[in-house]
Amino acid sequence: MVDFATLNARYGIPGGLAVAAVTNAHGTATIALQGAQVLSWAPRGEQPVIWLSAVAKFASGKLIRGGVPVCWPWFGPHPTEPSFPWHVFARIVPWEPAEIQRLADGSTRIAFRLVQNEATLAQWPHSTPVELHINVGAVLELNLVTRNIGQSPVTIDGEMHSYFQVSDIRPVRILGLDACPYFDRVDACRCKQQAGPVTISAETDRIYLEATSDCLIEDPGLSRRIRIAKRGSHSTVVWNRWIDKAARMGDIGEDGYLMMVCVESANVADNIVTIASGDEHHPWARYSIERLG
């Protein structure tokens, strides 16, 4: 067990948020204990891969714009209770560090466990302990483990809401979604089909279904591809708020929308998951860098 008080004293952000800082021979990362949210990751010698807003707000119980938030156990509005917040349950509650290991290849593994209390049980009264296992090295791996130790099946949906750093979104291409059907949430959730690479030149909010192949964010400005591999998730969400909505949000920053894109590993819409009693579900994602040319 890791000492939470020690982490908070060494790496706390003014305002009360504790952050774990990881540095090893392969790369660096920072992780907020609120939400077990990866805030940054960069392999050794590389530009940052994970985008964090320059004007992100760090306050207890508030969203941190950027990084890799965990949206669990529901995505979007709660299916039965409209007063519950949109897919932010796990993002704004404390997680506790459960384990830190140095792996044989020199990377670092940290496991976090969501802290259950009266407030969390009021919104999610199910016996489903959840952990996020994070491997930091030349690649970044995330494994979200939900165990159903209750007596009845439990249905969940959610995602790893990853924000990726790009030099300029306008020439970027996202590969790996060709021919996938998707719901276009900017166009009344109409069902469409992707043709060729995804490019972004306006507000984009799409849920791609049965999307299990690797996605690649091809960024000519940084001469690299970000490869997003995954298992255990069948949806991919592509998201960028663009100019007007980004400005209204207030925490993306001036021109921040040009330097990021969300490509999120998810199980949402038609791909939600039911976990039987005694079973577990563990979607996994791995982010890595490839050079262009």
Q: Which residue has the tokens 């593994």?
A: 109
* Distance (Å, whole) CA 221 – CA 217: 12
264 is catalytic: yes
Torsion of CA 42, 46, 47, 50, to 10 degrees: -30
Of 110, 90, 113, 112, nearest to 102 (Cα)? 110
* Distance (Å, whole) CA 199 – CA 204: 9
Q: Which of 161, 203, 218, 254 is catalytic?
A: 161
Give the list of residues 6+ apart from residue 188 with CB closer than 8 angstroms, or none. Answer: none
Give the list of residues 6+ apart from residue 6 with CB closer than 8 angstroms, or none. Answer: none
* Distance (Å, whole) CA 43 – CA 57: 25
Q: Which of 264, 281, 282, 290 is catalytic?
A: 264
Q: Is 33 left (phi over 0), alpha (psi -120 to 50) or beta?
A: alpha
* Distance (Å, whole) CA 237 – CA 204: 10
* Distance (Å, whole) CA 253 – CA 250: 7
254 is catalytic: no
Active site residues: 161, 264
